[in-house]
Amino acid sequence: MPTIILTALVSLGSTLPAAGGASLPAPSLPGSSFVPSTAPLALSPRVALGAAAPGSASVEACRATCRDSALGPLLSKPQPGDVVISEFMSNPAAVSDSQGEWIELRNTLPWRLDMEGLVISDADGDLFGLSNGGAGILIGPGATLVLGNNPDPATNGGVEIDMAYTGFVLANGEDEIYVHTRAGVLLDAVEYSAAGAWPLTPGCSASLDPGSSDPLSNDDPGNWCASSAPLPGGDSGSPGAPNAPCQ
Ligand SMILES: [Ca+2]
Ligand SMILES: [Ca+2]
Ligand SMILES: [Ca+2]
């Protein structure tokens, strides 16, 4: 089973994105800036081995960026629209914020996606990168990657985290989540605020309606709702699992 180390950037050299921008200036993210921030984590099976997209039709649909490897040809590097921020816990109640914040990213493609190399940032300098030493972070079709600031379910509210991060805080009132490549291509952004009708209920994750799983639809707070799915620690959310419809 592959192990994952999520790394944090020590230096911040990037120009951060304008709201709603289609792309980002190329951030200064030299590989040497990435340093391991947590002990290696075992990748959960649902993430490690996404089913290959079936049939030759999917092969034909596979983009030029798909690569042939021992893990199969149906694997591509993310492009805009391929990755959607589908859920986030900005204000856990069962545990402290420093122990229980998390972000769920979903692969919207019908084939596996390699999320290694993606960068998560916000508008005021929080930043971390996804690294697995070049081995890839393979997310199955429609599957999710759950990123959290504490990988231990015993102390994070009972959340199964796929990868842990440091250096990123989800403010309780207003914050941003930008997902982009190291080359500066913005894949998805969510900018939430307490004043914007966002479902920022303490102890409940904000959950994207499954019918709105695209980077434009998730800009609209009306397509989000407070999760009511129970977590073992007492809060609500569906990290790593499908989101319930909002209506
Ligand atoms: Ca918070
Ligand atoms: Ca978006
Ligand atoms: Ca979910």
pLDDT tens per residue, range 103-145 = 999 988 777 788 888 989 988 888 888 887 777 788 877 889 9
Going from the Cα of 144 to the center of ligand 3, the distance in angstroms, rounded, reads: 8
- Whole-angstrom distance, CA of residue 57 vs CA of residue 49: 21
pTM, whole model, 2 decimals?
0.75
Q: Are 127 and 244 in contact (CB under 8 A)?
A: no
Reported as a pLDDT band with limits 50, 70 and 90, residue 39 is very low
Task: State both tokens at 211.
Answer: 């019918």
Going from the Cα of 56 to the center of ligand 2, the distance in angstroms, rounded, reads: 31
| Closest CA relative to residue 124, chosen from 9, 16, 7, 13 | 16
Backbone angles phi, psi at 113, to 5 degrees: -125, 140
Give the HSE-up count for residue 50: Cα atoms under 13 Å, Cβ half-sphere. 29
Residue 131's pLDDT is: 82
Going from the Cα of 97 to the center of ligand 1, the distance in angstroms, rounded, reads: 5
Residue 47's pLDDT is: 31
The average pLDDT across 54-64 equals: 35
Nearest-ligand number for the alpha carbon of 205: 3
Distances (CA, A) of 139 to 26, 52, 74, 114: 25, 10, 11, 6
Spell out the SS3 assignment of 222-246: HHEEECCCECCCCCECCCCCCCCCC
Set out the domains of the chain in order of their start, with CATH numbers.
3-12+23-226 (2.60.40.1260)
Residues within 5 A (CB) of ion ligand 2: 188-189, 215, 218-219
Give me the helices (H) in 121-220, please. Answer: none
